[in-house]
Amino acid sequence: MTKAKQAAGAQTADSANLEQDLYQKRKKIYPREVHGLFAGLRFAGVSTLLGIYYIVPWLMWDGRQAILFDLPERKFYILGMVFWPQDFIYLTMLLVVAALSLFFFTALAGRLWCGFACPQTVWTEAFLWIERKVEGTRQQQIKLDKSALNRHKFTKKFTKHFIWILFSLFTGFTFVGYFTPIRELTAAIPTLGFGPWEVFWILFYGFATYGNAGWMREQVCTYMCPYARFQSAMFDKNTLIISYDQERGEPRGARKRGVDPQDVGLGSCVDCSICVQVCPTGIDIRDGLQYQCIGCAACIDACDDVMDKMGYPRGLVKYTTENALAGQHTSIFRPRIILYATVLAAITIGSAIGIAYRPMLELDIIRDRNSLFRETGMGMVENVYTLKLINKDVRAHEFAIGLEGVDGMKLNMPERVIRVESGDVVEAPVSIEVDPADLQKRTTQIHFTMKARDDPELFIVEEARFLGPYPGR
Amino acid sequence: MAEQSTSEQEREIPTIQKWIAVLWPSFLVAGVETIVFFTLFDPEYVFAEYEVSRTGAYSIGFFLFWAFAILPCLLTMYFAKPCKPCASTRDGKG
């Protein structure tokens, strides 16, 4: 086990202090505002992702919502494609691809996901931004919380929660807009004419946003996130981590600006504790890698800023690898990375091909449940089925229904040609008659065919069973 | 001594973590169960006798799954409580 694993994973026996911290009652964390390269990157990530989330349901495609998970109709529209419950496998594949990407990026660059892309981080950042706009800086927030409840405090708190709740409701509204056409939802706002379940889910999702981003914050990462607990398994000595340079920093201590650390017998760390103040999970990076660290790099920006002011070189806290810290070469292309990348590429390409070539037709054959077979007045044996014709193609087609079975089998249905609109299902009751003398066995395999009349390439053959009496009876 | 330290440790687990340990895994499992169940079974057929929309059926289904998953989580919490050592081991006879 590498040092990083020990530190980032389960707490070891000698880090009992950390364990105590973990189980302590939560102290509210007031992350100090930070500027710098990584704060800029996070702002870019957060605004892009929030933008995508709030804009996507408004995009249109061919006169309908481009991305719509139409649960009431049991159809998922994604751009030009329509997915059905039968296409469940592609959703599974998508999740596998997502999980593998997470593994790949974790092995390569540590907890990039947590610090820059996780919805928990993204919404918490937005909520922190609102909080700062209303309550002011970290110091002002702490002062406000310590002060007795007066009109000033009440106004500030009320304003903050009011904006938070509005923003949460808008988030919940957008969420429901992925499942119910968002333009219809918007049209219903003036009269509040939403369906009861739409109201419920707007409130539920809004409440979850408000609770997680406003109140829970880093506790979600510490207690709820499964990834935070197992991400260290993907770490090795070449994984990018955020680390404090112990060698250079210690012994830490305050000194005047511009003083050479060696002259006063100190390391580069001026012990200003700004790296702790900016940390959204309230840890001290100088204690080493901890599993609460979400890799947001706020401490890097903060420390670089201080180093600049002191006239010291940057990078006392920096992105590095365990190998680099030990003065060894960091290799990017290592078996673990190559393995993750290969499997990821294979499954992604496989899924893409699978989706591109997925069958455009489906023919479900449902046997009449009430009777196995029926004897007609003419001495024939009859089986009754319901055919479900599903057209997943983007165009409507007329389909000819055919039967391949025993000679002399007769297919009865009102219309032999059935038109199915794009993305539609048509049910057709059919019956098959045959002279029992033609049946060799009690169960006979038959095949229904469904062929598009305008496209010879578009057809499907489905197997069914025809049941009759025991032969010779 | 051992008994004291475990109960101390237990007391130090924040209440929030206990709530999460019950509500959160059950929520995740209920989500997966809802997706799988309603992919296989169309509520239009399963709940045909009840006057409930598909969205309503999905929602009710989800909360039923959640409620049922909360039970084993609660039981796990219950059984995870430290047991008192029996008298013989405590006295160092065992």
Nearest CA in chain B to A72: B54
List the alpha helices (DSSP H) in A318-466: 322-325, 335-356
- CB of A437 closer than 8 Å to CB of A409: no
Domain boundary among A294, A326, A358: A358
| Token pair belonging to A454 | 């305008």
Domain boundary among A341, A358, A375: A358
**Could you report the per-residue pLDDT of B44-59, keeping only the tens digit for each?**
877 778 888 888 999 9
Cα distance from A374 to chain B (closest Cα, Å)? 26
Single-letter code of the amino acid located at A83: F
A36 DSSP assignment: S
What pLDDT score does A448 carry? 94
| A366 & A354 share domain | no
Residue B61 lies in a domain: yes
Residues A251 and A271: their CA atoms lie apart, in Å, by 9
pLDDT, tens digit only, all 473 positions of chain A = 444 444 444 433 334 444 444 444 567 899 999 999 999 999 999 999 999 999 999 999 988 899 999 988 888 999 888 888 888 888 899 999 999 999 999 998 889 999 999 999 999 999 999 999 999 999 999 999 999 999 999 999 999 999 999 999 999 999 999 999 999 999 999 888 888 899 999 999 999 999 999 999 998 998 889 898 888 888 889 999 999 999 999 889 988 888 888 888 899 999 999 999 999 999 999 998 888 899 999 999 999 999 999 999 999 999 999 899 888 888 888 898 999 999 999 999 999 999 888 888 989 999 887 778 888 888 889 999 999 999 888 788 999 999 988 888 889 988 889 999 887 889 999 999 998 888 888 888 999 999 999 888 889 999 999 988 877 65
| A111 & A222 share domain | yes
Selection from A257, A296, A214 nearest residue A34 by Cα: A296
A153 DSSP assignment: H
Looking at the structure of chain A, the number of domains it has is: 2
| A2 & A122 share domain | yes
Cα distance from A22 to chain B (closest Cα, Å)? 8
| A210 & A322 share domain | yes
| A193 & A306 share domain | yes
Q: What kind and span of H or E run contains A451?
A: strand A443-452
Single-letter code of the amino acid located at A368: D
Structural domain containing residue B56? 16-90
The answer to whether the Cα torsion of A287, A288, A292, A293 is positive or negative is: positive
Partner residue opposite A223 with nearest CB, options B20, B40, B54: B20
Residue B4 lies in a domain: no
Selection from A124, A134, A128, A120 nearest residue A30 by Cα: A128
Single-letter code of the amino acid located at B76: T
**Cβ contacts of A19 within 8 Å, gap of 6 or more:** A11
| A243 & A133 share domain | yes
Output B75 or A377, whichever has higher pLDDT.
Answer: B75
Q: What share of chain A is helix, strand, coil (3-state, %, to 5)?
A: 45, 20, 35
Say what the alpha-carbon torsion angle B20, B26, B32, B33 is, to the nearest 10 degrees. -170
| A124 & A243 share domain | yes
Residue B57 lies in a domain: yes
The strand pairing partners of A401, in sequence order, are A450
What pLDDT score does A18 carry? 44
- For residue A179, the chain B residues in CB contact (below 8 A) are 55
Residue A472 lies in a domain: no
CB atoms within 10 A of CB A467: 15
Q: Is the ipTM of this complex over 0.90?
A: no
What pLDDT score does A1 carry? 42
Residue B84 lies in a domain: yes
Taking any CB pair shorter than 8 Å as contact, residues of chain A touching chain B are 20, 23-26, 71-72, 74, 85, 88, 91, 179-180, 195-198, 200-201, 216, 219, 223-224
Three-state DSSP state, B22: helix
Residue A99 lies in a domain: yes
| A128 & A235 share domain | yes
CATH of the domain at A437: 2.60.40.10
- For residue B59, the chain A residues in CB contact (below 8 A) are 197, 200-201
| Token pair belonging to A249 | 């920093």
Selection from A366, A359, A374, A364 nearest residue A459 by Cα: A359
Selection from A383, A373, A368 nearest residue A431 by Cα: A383
Nearest CA in chain A to B55: A72
B17 and A223: CB-CB below 8 Å? yes
CB atoms within 10 A of CB A89: 12
Residue B60 lies in a domain: yes
Residue A447 lies in a domain: yes
| Token pair belonging to A427 | 């049910």
Cα distance from B59 to chain A (closest Cα, Å)? 8
| A332 & A422 share domain | no
| A432 & A354 share domain | no
Looking at the structure of chain B, the number of domains it has is: 1
Selection from A467, A436, A448, A367 nearest residue A405 by Cα: A448
CB atoms within 10 A of CB B74: 13
Structural domain containing residue A312? 1-358
| A140 & A286 share domain | yes
What pLDDT score does A28 carry? 87
Domain boundary among A323, A358, A393: A358
| A317 & A371 share domain | no
State the pLDDT confidence band at B11, using cuts at 50, 70 and 90: low
**Cβ contacts of A82 within 8 Å, gap of 6 or more:** A75, A76, A392, A394, A422, A423
What pLDDT score does B86 carry? 72
| Token pair belonging to A91 | 């959703």
- For residue B53, the chain A residues in CB contact (below 8 A) are 72, 195, 197
Residues A248 and A284: their CA atoms lie apart, in Å, by 17
Residues B37 and A96: their CA atoms lie apart, in Å, by 20
B24 and A224: CB-CB below 8 Å? yes
